[in-house]
Amino acid sequence: MRPTGRLHLGHYTGALENWIEQQELLQPDGTRAYETCFLIADYHSLTTSLDTSSIYGHTIDMLIDWLAAGVDPVKSPVFRQSQVKEHAELFLVFSNLITTARLERNPTLKEQVRDLNMDALCYGHLGYPVLQAADILLYKGNVVPVGEDQLPHVEITREIARKFNSHFPHPVLGEVFPEPSPKITKFSRLLGLDGKAKMSKSLGNTILLSDTPEEIAGKMRNAVTDTLKVRRNDPGRPEVCTVYSYHQKFTKPEDLPEIEQGCRSGSLGCVDCKKMCSAAISAELAPMLERRRHYEARPEMVRQILHEGEEKARLIAGVTIAEVREAMHLGEAGA
């Protein structure tokens, strides 16, 4: 994730929840199904803003949200992209394995240019998926937990891995890189409170993972519902209601039929429906809020977790880059 500060529900349902699930997943013999690494993509932040004055503070805020959500730094190294120099080296190599025409066809890029009203595209933004490929393949990632909007980037990563393996076979390993597969979540996109777009802090339509129950209730009061349900007893359409989409994620499954029926019949008013939804969200976030307070009170511990994760990442990255140089005959004496 790019370090933009405190995270919201969209980050949780679209990525973070999936990360935790993969971190804790066990095989039948009781061993971990995945070795997981979590990257703070601070270099990627430069593609949309050159103001780096707040980037460290945003990094710490985001890392605390990760830890509060259940990221275990013992199982999963957490680290900043900028502190592992091999990211930049592998990005340079990969930049020569893909054409600008291929990157310009990236549908995610076209959406970003449109959404951000960008007049001109910098080289770094065009090459964003190439740096992302380096982020993934530097740790030989087999599975990448992503939202649907990032699927084209994973495909670019697969293409780059194939091309490197084809052009630069390793004398011992054969293929240096795996072709990673994406893993998406059911709730990969969560509408913002305005019901118009996915949650975004810039749009002011978010519920933060650090929000208190009172703050959540206050925000939920302004959430968009079915525009045709004007009065309490009017029949509603839960399938078009933003609040009901939150119910589907955070309310207990056995309670959903009653909420849906109450909405359709008009017996459940929007005010009461929002209160129920707020309570369900607050209940889900309560353990995270407690853990967040724990880490907020121990900033030195958080910094130590980050530095230890970066040491682990450098060890992994160093091995991969050594293999890349061997495959490309860039070692000592050209060997």
pLDDT of 105-127, one tens digit each?
Answer: 988 787 777 766 667 788 888 99
pLDDT attached to residue 186: 67
Q: Which one of 3.20.190.10, 3.40.50.1860, 3.30.565.10, 3.40.50.620 gives the CATH number of domain 9-190+298-334?
A: 3.40.50.620
Cα–Cα distances (Å) from 154 to 41, 108, 123, 218, 317, in that order, read 16, 11, 19, 38, 19
What are the structure tokens assigned to 143, written together? 């599975």
Fold of 211-295: Tyrosyl-Transfer RNA Synthetase (1.10.240)
Compute the distance between CA of residue 280 and CA of residue 250 in angstroms, rounded to an integer: 6
Q: Kindly give the interhelix angle for 86-94 and 151-167, rounded to the nearest 10 degrees.
A: 80
Residues of the chain with pLDDT under 50: 334-335
Residue 297 contacts residue 290 (beta carbons within 8 Å): no
Cα–Cα distances (Å) from 147 to 86, 164, 244, in that order, read 26, 26, 21
pLDDT attached to residue 164: 98
pLDDT of 157-204, one tens digit each?
Answer: 999 999 999 999 999 999 999 999 998 876 657 899 999 888 888 788
| 8 three-class SS | strand
pLDDT attached to residue 261: 95
Structural domain spans, the chain: 9-190+298-334, 211-295
Strand partners of residue 198: 191
Compute the distance between CA of residue 91 and CA of residue 115 in angstroms, rounded to an integer: 26
Compute the distance between CA of residue 117 and CA of residue 334 in angstroms, rounded to an integer: 47
Do 9-190+298-334 and 211-295 have matching folds? no
Q: Kindly give the interhelix angle for 128-137 and 86-94, rounded to the nearest 10 degrees.
A: 120
pLDDT attached to residue 335: 46
